[in-house]
Each structure stands twice: as structure tokens, then as C-alpha cells.
Amino acid sequence: MAEYNNGPVIVTGMVLATSPVNDYDRRVVILTKERGKITAFAKGARRQGSRLLAATDQFCFGNFKLFEGRTAYNLIEASITNYFEELREDFEGACLGMYFLELADYYTRENNDELEMLKLLFQSVKAVCRPTLDNKLVKVIYELKALAVNGEFPGIPSDGRLSGSAEYAVGFIEKTPVEKLYTFTVSPGVLSELRELSDDYRRRFIDRKLKSLDLLESLGV
């Protein structure tokens, strides 16, 4: 029988990853405001009719009620405020969202203060669901801001490779609060500059190939 410490814990967060365990259970990774990235087990979540069936899908954002055991959390209840159902009908958007989840999983740790990364993830997935925004621009903004949030942003290049407009856009991404990030557009030429810069930084600062990136590149995003 599982042993629990104290009473239940309620956290706010988004499901980054989910995988089957045994016949009917699920293991979920949740990026939370209160405890960083955590792993939880949801018993019976894969049974038809389970109240945790939909709540343990990727992208689900809301409140999760957990018991903290000696080695893992156990998810007993969830109140989901956003399922991001729009992504189910948008293949490119879903692939981009999966990349955002994987990058967030790469950066975050348990018991770290990951509030800014959670806010960035939430706002970025919302941006993917907005048909008026260019997915290529959303991807660049997310990548560059993720570097800034995690203290790895090397600054605007001083080698003259960027135009004045591109330099301004990079500075805006670095300094602007997450909630106001997705409020601008750029010309195709500036977007191309930003994409090249982001690709360069990703190769320099991320030490492994992300699986979801291969599919995105095949789609030209």
C-alpha cells in the first residue's frame, strides 16, 4: 500500500507527457507552478469512463490534486480549464505544440521555480491556436524566450549579421513579459533572420536532438 506524506497537494500546471503503465494506469509528467516538473501516476486513467481519462492527455492545463508518496505523486483528481482541443484538428499546430512540450520538459526540473516557463508554455500553445499568427514566428519567439527564461540567452549578436529590425525584434523577445510576447509581426526577411539565429542558438545550447523537431523540419516550420 502506498504511503503518503501529510494531506493532498493541489497544483496548477500543464501535462507535458503521458505514457501507459500496466493495463489501465498512466504516468504523467506535469509542469507546475508550485513544484516545478513532477511525475505522477494516475490509477485507472485509461479505463473508459474514468474521470482522469481526458485530464491526463498532453496539453491539459488546470488544477491537479495529488498525494505525495515516498517516491512519486499519485494523481487523484483534476479540474481542467483548457484542453487545447483546437490542436486536434490542426496537424501542424499539434506538431508545434508537441515540440513546445518537449522543449519545456528538457529545460525544467522538479522543485525548481518554473513559473515563467509554465507561463511561456501556456501562452505559446495559445498562440499556436490563433490562426492569425505565423507558426514559424511563434516557434522562434518560444525558442528565444525559453533561452532567456532559463538564463542562457547570449544576447543580441554583435557581428552585424542581423538587420536593425531583426535586432529590435530579438530585444523585444528577450525583455518583454511573457503575456505580451505574441503581439507583433515581422516581414518575411526579418523572420528568416530570426529563424537562422534561433537555429544557431539551439545548436549551441541544447545538447541533444529533440524528436519532435524532425517532424517540424519536415513540415518546413
- pLDDT tens digits, residue range 119-168? 999 999 999 999 999 999 999 999 999 999 999 999 999 999 999 999 99
Residues 137/61, Cβ–Cβ less than 8 Å: no
Could you tell me which residues come within 8 angstroms of residue 185 by beta carbon, excluding any fewer than 6 positions away?
134, 137
Q: What is the DSSP string of 208-219?
A: S--HHHHHHHHT
Residues 135/221, Cβ–Cβ less than 8 Å: yes
Residues 110/38, Cβ–Cβ less than 8 Å: yes
Grid cell in block for residue 77: 483528481
Residues 97/128, Cβ–Cβ less than 8 Å: yes
| pLDDT at site 72 | 85
Give the Å distances, CA to CA, from 91 to 135, 150, 165.
12, 29, 31
Could you tell me which residues come within 8 angstroms of residue 140 by beta carbon, excluding any fewer than 6 positions away?
191, 194, 195, 198
What does the DSSP 8-state code read for residue 207?
Answer: -
The structure's pTM equals 0.94
Give the CA angle between residues 186, 190, 194 to the nearest 5°: 105
Handedness of CA 50, 56, 61, 62 (dihedral sign): positive
Q: What is the pLDDT of residues 177-220, one digit of tens each?
A: 999 999 999 999 999 999 999 999 999 999 888 999 999 989 99
Residues 61/13, Cβ–Cβ less than 8 Å: yes
Q: What is the pLDDT of residues 30-78, one digit of tens each?
A: 999 999 999 999 999 999 989 999 999 999 999 999 999 887 899 999 9
| pLDDT at site 209 | 85
Give the Å distances, CA to CA, from 205 to 92, 192, 199, 214.
25, 20, 10, 18
Q: Which domains does the chain have, with CATH numbers?
A: 9-82 (2.40.50.140), 86-218 (1.20.1440)
Give the percent of the chain with pLDDT over 70: 98
Strands 73-82 and 61-68, how do they pair? antiparallel
Q: Is 57 helix (H, G, I), strand (E, B) or coil?
A: coil
Q: Which of 74, 84, 167 minimizes the C-alpha distance to 121?
A: 84
